[in-house]
Every structure is written in C-alpha cells, then in structure tokens.
Amino acid sequence: MPKPAPQPDDSRAAEKAAGAHVAAPQKTARPAWIPIRSLSPRHRSLILGHLTSLPERDRYLRFGYSATDEQIGRYVDGLNFERDEVFGVFNRRLALIALAHLACPNADAPGLQAAEFGGSVAAHARGRGYGARLFEHAMLHARNRGLDTLFIHALSENTVMLRIARRAGATVERAGSESDAYLKLPHETLASQVEQWVGEGAAVIDYRLKQQARLVDTLLDGISEPKSRIGKASEPSIRD
C-alpha cells in the first residue's frame, strides 16, 4: 500500500495562510578590496601634490595646524622611507587619492615599540572606507615589524580619525584640544606575513594594469584626434 502523504505542519500552514514570511539571517557583506601600494622616494612629487591639494581645514586636521605649501614641502622632503612606511591608494587615472604615513621608531632606540599613524583622503574620495582600510593596513605592517602599539596623535575635533581608531579597538585619551589613541597589536604570525605579502603583490599588479590602461587611453586619444580633424576637413562647406 502506498504511504500516506505527509500532512503539513499546522504552524507552517498558518504562516502561509496569513502571508507571513520568516526573514533569512543577514550576512555582513565584506568590504570591497582596496589596492594599497607602498610608496618610495620616487613618489615624493605625488605625495606633495596630494597633500597640497587638501583644503585648509583638512590640512589643519592632518597636521594639527594650518600647514602652508612650504611647510608641507619640508614634511615631504623629510620623509624617511628606509625607517618609516608610506602607503597610497591610486584611482584609475593614477592620481593619489588617499595617503598614510606609518612613522616607526628608530631600530637602535631602546624600549620604543610604538608606531604613529597619520592619514589623509582627498575630498572627492571620502565615504568609501579608505581611511579605515589604510589604518588596518598600517596595523598589519606595524605588527609584522615586531611593534606592539599603534597610536594616533590628533586634534580632538578630528572625529573621523578618532572614530576609526575606536572601531579598531583603540583606547582614546583626550587632553583638551588634543587626543591620543592607543591600539595594542597582536604578535606577528605566518598568516599575517602572508597577508602582507599577498596584498602588496596584488597592489603592484593593480597599479601596473592601471598604467597599461592609461597608456592605451592616451594612444586612443592620440589616434582619434587626427581622425576628427580629417573628418571635419572633408565635410563639404555650406555656402549661401
């Protein structure tokens, strides 16, 4: 004899009859990968261009004072790429739209195991998470250098930077108009070293692809311009 068909559960039948829907658990979407490239002395002009393009308010928040072009120039000239690390985010036109400076202690300085973070994002590139991702990138590099603390010294009104530090787990100490954020870093591991190596390699590949795309765009522009001139010259003129 055939088995009797299974009867629907009463609660489920009631939900269907009432048009009820059970919401599926929401999954937190991972943020899109951002290629962050390590910069070198040959990028000084790009770094200078990015910082001097910042409006006065952003300069004030980044440096703690209204830095002039001359003062920014001295800062860029004084960057020590052998001791410190400088990172950047480039758009598809190879413009530097976000920048971070990880200032590390001297190797021969005893007892100092902290690195300082400073960053800036171009006004038109805000709201994309670049600041937070640069901070995470600096955390990874600092721990892989054996440093145990990452700190930010900022104006108390720089709420964006201090919020990024708090979300990463930092402790913020406020002293009037200035604040210090301290974040304890875990020890380096093989996984953290691999993560840094893979990220740096992918960022280099991304930059080279953008270079190739930029070169192709330039060549196409160079070809299309003479064609447009020839087309205009061959058009019959209209006379009254």
**Domain limits, the chain:** 33-215
* Distance from C-alpha of 37 to C-alpha of 49, rounded to nearest angstrom: 17
Q: For residue 135, give every residue at least 6 positions away whose Cβ sits within 8 Å of its Cβ, in sequence order, or none.
A: 100, 117, 119, 164, 165, 168
Instruction: Give residue 222's pLDDT.
Output: 66
Instruction: Give residue 230's pLDDT.
Output: 57
- Of 170, 143, 126, give the one whose Cα is nearest residue 85: 143
Task: Report whether 169 contacts 143 (CB < 8 A).
Answer: no
pLDDT value at 21 more than 50: no
Instruction: Give residue 29's pLDDT.
Output: 47
Name the CA dihedral angle for 50, 51, 56, 60, rounded to a multiple of 10 degrees: 140
pLDDT value at 164 more than 60: yes
pLDDT digits (tens, 9 = 90+) for 67-89: 999 999 999 999 999 999 999 99
Instruction: Give residue 220's pLDDT.
Output: 72
* pTM for the whole structure: 0.74
The hierarchical CATH code for the domain 33-215 is 3.40.630.30
Among 107-121, 141-155, 201-215, the range with the most confident prediction by mean pLDDT is 141-155
More confident residue, 222 or 47: 47
Residue 4 — pLDDT band, cuts 50, 70, 90?
very low
Interstrand relation of 171-175 and 37-38 (parallel, antiparallel or unpaired) = unpaired
Cα within 13 Å of Cα(114), Cβ side: 12
Q: What is the mean pLDDT of residues 108-115?
A: 73
How high is the mean pLDDT of the chain? 82
More confident residue, 19 or 38: 38
